[in-house]
Chains A and B, each alone.
Chain A
């Protein structure tokens, strides 16, 4: 049985990594009926596959299309497991709201950040692009995220990152969340200067940083 279990989890990780939806669905059914805990199917199967893919993406071994296709599998897999997971009392390690700032329509970097967040077990609420501070504030109240991740790709929308942070501050919401910023023109110094809590150069590092932030927050509590 143990060997069968390891094989199912390994195949599952592999199916996510290669974005093979039907294969993954079949393996999940097999795992669940074989008595593997949903938590393990998620963490040691699906998420492990996504993490492996993330590392390969960072090293230029796989490319954006591979990540998108894999993320579709991961999403579907998480949906399939959701009832079993709540039966086991398993909750995601944290919640993140991701968005591209007001005036900016660049979607892909932000979407990849969301995908990699999900790939480390964070539940993601994606608000899309061109998101103003008011919408952000409402989402914080409604979804109670631990992390807000904001993306900006244009020199002309860089200041919207600062604008969003100060608007959340004025609305008394700033201290409820950790704010991460990124996007190609954003630098670490810029992130520090505008009072963000985290920055990363790429989506994989962003997810690791988010995990560290969540762990640190847990220790502080």
Chain B
């Protein structure tokens, strides 16, 4: 039995080899999981609510999953979001299990919804003064517990003694600022707990898949500012505003990401979910101009500072893959990873061979509703068409919420016996 340290090194090398487009000792199997461990081990009693409020319990389920199935990485996708802080910050863009009065069961993952936090008429305000817009409008709208920030202004007129700070006398402003401080302290604790989890998983032999995140500026605009629908109208009616806002967001993100350069992290990979760029949502020209162009600068920065961007596509990408391949060719081979939810994996592997490592391939629906035989057949197909020569990691089509145990077993067994 190799010890955990040796296992860690073997797995890390296996994963890194696949990413670097080199033949690994065997196919890395790393299916990302969300709620699956809670569903598989009900005796532990962990749920999505535990991942927000009771880290120890959530951790126990995830550790059990990794010990049982021995994946090639720490596959836990979302964990340790700060439930207690949400209770007083009261984010308005989501609901979560454990919120007082929520209709959600404890077993539900948090639920994002979209609100137009920025109206179509407010682009110019955002562009003219990002910080003012964020403090006086965006934060008060997106967190009920920060409403008081709308009155937070520093007025430099008659600046005698401390008069410019006088708006702080308002109780609403103080309440909001107190919530911010309180949040900062709570978040430090959550960070520590998450760090401890990652460390513990490393100790058990499971290297993390990624250690930071980023988002395409277009998705930031659509997900958190204008909403999907609002953005779709803007694409038709004010594309120049979208372009300007995306440029702004790209610059801000790059500042943060650049600071990762010398961070002492066990792996240097950045997770980037792709939300609103799939087939049908956006024309080819706008995809190039509004979506990819501002995003490309982020990719370039990450590659330059030695990080591997993990491009995580959601939805159908058949009309995009050739373009994406072209863009990734601007980087050295093996600089990026790219996940697909849909598509013909044999074709994708051919297309990205020598360019980037692809991953995904086992449909979540099949794992949850399909048969063992279907899973075996699917995994065999993936191994046969994608594994040779590296550049492929076996994963499901998305982070697994629920599945039949026998299907998960079949996925691991088939991938390993091939």
Residues of A within 8 A of B (CB): 19, 57, 60, 62-66, 68-69, 105, 107-108, 111, 155-156, 184-185
Given contacts A69-B237, A155-B401, contact A64 B108 (CB under 8 A): no
| Residue B364 lies at the interface, judged by CB distance under 8 Å to chain A | yes
Residues on B with C-beta less than 8 A from A57 are 280
| Residue B402 lies at the interface, judged by CB distance under 8 Å to chain A | yes
Residues on A with C-beta less than 8 A from B402 are 155-156
CB proximity of A162 to chain B, nearest CB, Å: 13
Pick the residue among B233, B280, B282, B364 that contacts A68 (CB under 8 A): B233
Residues on B with C-beta less than 8 A from A69 are 233, 236-237
Question: Contact: A185 with B319, CB < 8 Å?
Answer: no
CA distance A62 to B113 in the complex (A): 27
Pick the residue among A66, A107, A108, A185 that contacts B236 (CB under 8 A): A66
Residues on A with C-beta less than 8 A from B233 are 65, 68-69
Question: Contact: A19 with B319, CB < 8 Å?
Answer: no
| Residue B368 lies at the interface, judged by CB distance under 8 Å to chain A | yes
Question: Contact: A64 with B365, CB < 8 Å?
Answer: no
| Residue B235 lies at the interface, judged by CB distance under 8 Å to chain A | yes
CB proximity of B275 to chain A, nearest CB, Å: 12
CB proximity of B240 to chain A, nearest CB, Å: 15
Given contacts A57-B280, A60-B279, contact A65 B235 (CB under 8 A): yes
CB proximity of A90 to chain B, nearest CB, Å: 30
Pick the residue among A108, A156, A184 that contacts B401 (CB under 8 A): A156
Pick the residue among B111, B281, B401 that contacts A64 (CB under 8 A): B281
Residues on B with C-beta less than 8 A from A111 are 229
Question: Contact: A105 with B228, CB < 8 Å?
Answer: no
CA distance A107 to B368 in the complex (A): 24
Question: Contact: B236 with A19, CB < 8 Å?
Answer: yes
CB proximity of A56 to chain B, nearest CB, Å: 11
Question: Contact: A68 with B236, CB < 8 Å?
Answer: yes
Question: Contact: A60 with B281, CB < 8 Å?
Answer: no
Residues on A with C-beta less than 8 A from B232 are 64-65, 68, 108
CB proximity of B316 to chain A, nearest CB, Å: 9
Q: What are 12 inter-chain pairs, A to B, with CB distance below 8 A?
A: A63-B280, A63-B281, A63-B282, A65-B283, A66-B236, A68-B232, A68-B233, A68-B236, A69-B236, A108-B229, A155-B365, A184-B315
- Sample of 12 more A-B contacts, CB < 8 Å, known A64-B280, A65-B233: A19-B236, A60-B280, A60-B319, A62-B283, A64-B282, A65-B282, A68-B229, A105-B111, A108-B228, A155-B402, A156-B108, A184-B315
CB proximity of B401 to chain A, nearest CB, Å: 7
Residues on B with C-beta less than 8 A from A156 are 108, 401-402
Residues on B with C-beta less than 8 A from A19 are 236
B204-234, CB under 8 A of A: which get 1 and which 0?
0000000000000000000000001100110
CB proximity of B238 to chain A, nearest CB, Å: 11
Residues on A with C-beta less than 8 A from B368 are 155
Given contacts A60-B279, A107-B229, A155-B368, contact A65 B401 (CB under 8 A): no
CB proximity of A207 to chain B, nearest CB, Å: 16
Residues on B with C-beta less than 8 A from A184 are 315
B42-76, CB under 8 A of A: which get 1 and which 0?
00000000000000000000000000000000000
CA distance A12 to B286 in the complex (A): 27
CB proximity of A17 to chain B, nearest CB, Å: 13
Residues on A with C-beta less than 8 A from B280 are 57, 60, 63-64
CB proximity of B92 to chain A, nearest CB, Å: 14
CB proximity of A12 to chain B, nearest CB, Å: 20
CB proximity of B199 to chain A, nearest CB, Å: 32
Residues on A with C-beta less than 8 A from B108 are 156
CA distance A162 to B319 in the complex (A): 33
CA distance A68 to B402 in the complex (A): 35
Most buried by A among B108, B228, B237, B280: B280
B314-325, CB under 8 A of A: which get 1 and which 0?
010001000000
Residue of A nearest to B113 (CB): A105
CB proximity of A59 to chain B, nearest CB, Å: 11
B357-369, CB under 8 A of A: which get 1 and which 0?
0000000110010
CB proximity of B62 to chain A, nearest CB, Å: 20
Residue of B nearest to A62 (CB): B283
CA distance A33 to B350 in the complex (A): 61
CA distance A155 to B113 in the complex (A): 17
Residue of B nearest to A107 (CB): B229
Pick the residue among A60, A62, A155 that contacts B364 (CB under 8 A): A155
CB proximity of B223 to chain A, nearest CB, Å: 13
B268-303, CB under 8 A of A: which get 1 and which 0?
000000000001111100100000000000000000
8 closest A-B pairs (Cβ-Cβ)? A65-B236, A65-B235, A69-B236, A65-B232, A105-B113, A63-B283, A64-B281, A64-B232
CA distance A107 to B231 in the complex (A): 14
Residue of B nearest to A184 (CB): B315
Residue of A nearest to B111 (CB): A105
Residue of A nearest to B95 (CB): A105
Residues on B with C-beta less than 8 A from A155 are 364-365, 368, 401-402
CA distance A108 to B222 in the complex (A): 13
Residues on B with C-beta less than 8 A from A62 are 283
CA distance A156 to B280 in the complex (A): 24
CA distance A57 to B282 in the complex (A): 11
